[in-house]
């Protein structure tokens, strides 16, 4: 006796599904503000990567005789207080912001993710203790925490990354914990529990993947604020240890004293920061809409 073959047709939509990410990417590309954002990010990233190739001068090259030159064909963005080419330095500045920003956000995502996963996944006393720690970090307003950390750890690239990262750990920890708590009562988690899956397995295989999307959205938005914070710390003189480093915030500190003489030294690095931040803000908003179809209006 042969068993009747049963063909199961999945209730797919007429359009072939490309999975969550494929769909999200397609929706993102149909979102006009998000495209503008992607272009901004593309400019930012290519400036960082291609700086050594496109930059017409070295980031530290310049003589005092050539300082304060207004924008011209030789110096597209003029020259700074030391006679260095501003365009070159804006390009190299993107490297610092990109490196520090991305690494800091990943660090924050990792630390916050671990705290949030443990708190939201296990609950109980551990949750209560971890959330109190997060509350403590949240009690120190934003950039002040970063300022405090660098003041203690001294200036340095690693310190800069760590300072920015720690500022955003509470954001990610709370977010992940919140989504995990909401997922605990989801039907598929109940189902997994009822067939005897272990807590760790349920957490890692069933709950985490479903809690990732808000985390990704918020990481993109945090990257925008992280870039602004890095520049802010640089502006306060807490940026990269070598004051000659081309970093947008540090460049603005120099520019501040010569606002009457060379205002372009404020506008170009400022514009660079704004473009990068706008890019990540627009893409973050776009991702939120495309990853969560319920949010679309």
Partner 1 sequence: MLKYIVRRLLGAIPVLFGLSFILFAFVHLLPGDPSRAILGQHATPEAVARLRANLGLDQPLYVQYFTYLGQLLRGDFGASIINNRPVLSEFAVRFPGTVELTAAALIFSIGVGIPLGRLAARHAQGWIDGGVTVLSLVGISIPVFVLGLVFVHIFAVELGWLPTQGRLDPRARLDIVTNFMLIDTLIAGKFGLFVDALRHLVLPAIALGSIPLAIIARITRASVLDVSNEDYVRTARAKGLRERRVDNRHIMRNAWLPVVTVIGLQVGGLLGGAVLTETVFVWNGVGRWVVDAIGNRDYFVVQGTVMIFALIFLAVNLVVDIGYAFLNPRIRYS
Residues that bind partner 1 (CB under 8 A): 132-133, 135-137, 139-145, 147-154, 224, 228, 231-232, 235-238, 249, 252, 255-256, 259-260, 263, 266-267, 270, 273-274, 277-278, 281-282
- Asked if 35 and 279 touch (Cβ cutoff 8 Å), the reply is no
Q: How far is the CB of 116 from partner 1 (least distance, A)?
A: 18
Nearer of residues 92 and 235 to partner 1, judged by Cβ: 235
Q: Is 293 exposed, middle or buried (0-12, 13-18, 19+ CB in 10 A)?
A: exposed
- d(CA 275, CA 269) in angstroms, rounded, equals 10
What is the phi/psi pair of residue 284, to 5°?
Answer: -60, -50
Nearer of residues 47 and 282 to partner 1, judged by Cβ: 282
Nearer of residues 92 and 280 to partner 1, judged by Cβ: 280
CA 130 from centroid of its chain's CA atoms: 24
Nearer of residues 3 and 139 to partner 1, judged by Cβ: 139
| CA within 13 Å, CB half, 38 | 11
Q: How far is the CB of 143 from partner 1 (least distance, A)?
A: 4
Question: Hey, what are 148's tokens?
Answer: 């405090």
Q: How far is the CB of 231 from partner 1 (least distance, A)?
A: 6
What is the phi/psi pair of residue 197, to 5°?
Answer: -65, 145
Q: Is 53 exposed, middle or buried (0-12, 13-18, 19+ CB in 10 A)?
A: exposed
Q: How far is the CB of 150 from partner 1 (least distance, A)?
A: 8
Q: How far is the CB of 91 from partner 1 (least distance, A)?
A: 18
- Asked if 248 and 51 touch (Cβ cutoff 8 Å), the reply is no
Residues forming beta bridges with residue 79, ordered by sequence position: 85
Nearer of residues 15 and 132 to partner 1, judged by Cβ: 132
**CA–CA–CA angle 15, 20, 25 (5° rounding):** 85
Q: How far is the CB of 282 from partner 1 (least distance, A)?
A: 7
Nearer of residues 131 and 183 to partner 1, judged by Cβ: 131
- d(CA 30, CA 289) in angstroms, rounded, equals 11
Nearer of residues 38 and 140 to partner 1, judged by Cβ: 140
Q: How far is the CB of 37 from partner 1 (least distance, A)?
A: 10
């Amino acid at each position: 006796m042969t068993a009747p073959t049963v063909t199961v047709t999945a209730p797919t939509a007429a359009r072939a599904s490309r999975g969550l990410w494929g769909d999200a990417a397609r929706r993102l590309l149909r979102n006009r503000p998000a495209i503008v954002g992607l272009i901004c990010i593309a400019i930012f990233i290519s400036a960082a990567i291609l700086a050594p190739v496109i930059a017409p001068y070295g980031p530290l090259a310049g003589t005092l005789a050539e300082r304060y030159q207004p924008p011209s064909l030789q110096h597209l963005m003029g020259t700074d207080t030391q006679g260095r080419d501003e365009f070159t330095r804006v390009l190299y500045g993107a490297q610092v912001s990109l490196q520090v920003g991305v690494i800091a956000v990943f660090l924050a995502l990792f630390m916050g993710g671990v705290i949030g996963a443990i708190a939201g996944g296990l609950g109980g006393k551990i949750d209560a203790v971890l959330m109190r720690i997060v509350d403590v970090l949240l009690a120190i307003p934003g950039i002040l925490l970063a300022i405090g950390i660098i003041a203690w750890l001294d200036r340095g690239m690693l310190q800069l990354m760590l300072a920015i990262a720690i500022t955003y750990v509470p954001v990610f920890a709370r977010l992940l914990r919140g989504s995990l708590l909401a997922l605990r009562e989801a039907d598929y988690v109940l189902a997994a529990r009822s067939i005897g899956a272990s807590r760790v397995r349920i957490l890692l295989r069933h709950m985490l993947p479903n809690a990732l999307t808000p985390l990704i959205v918020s990481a993109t938005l945090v990257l925008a604020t992280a870039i602004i914070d890095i520049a802010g710390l640089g502006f306060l003189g807490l940026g990269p240890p070598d004051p000659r480093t081309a970093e947008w915030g540090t460049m603005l500190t120099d520019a501040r004293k010569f606002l009457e003489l060379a205002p372009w030294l404020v506008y170009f690095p400022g514009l660079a920061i704004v473009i990068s931040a706008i890019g990540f803000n627009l893409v973050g908003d776009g991702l939120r809409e495309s990853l969560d179809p319920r949010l679309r209006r």
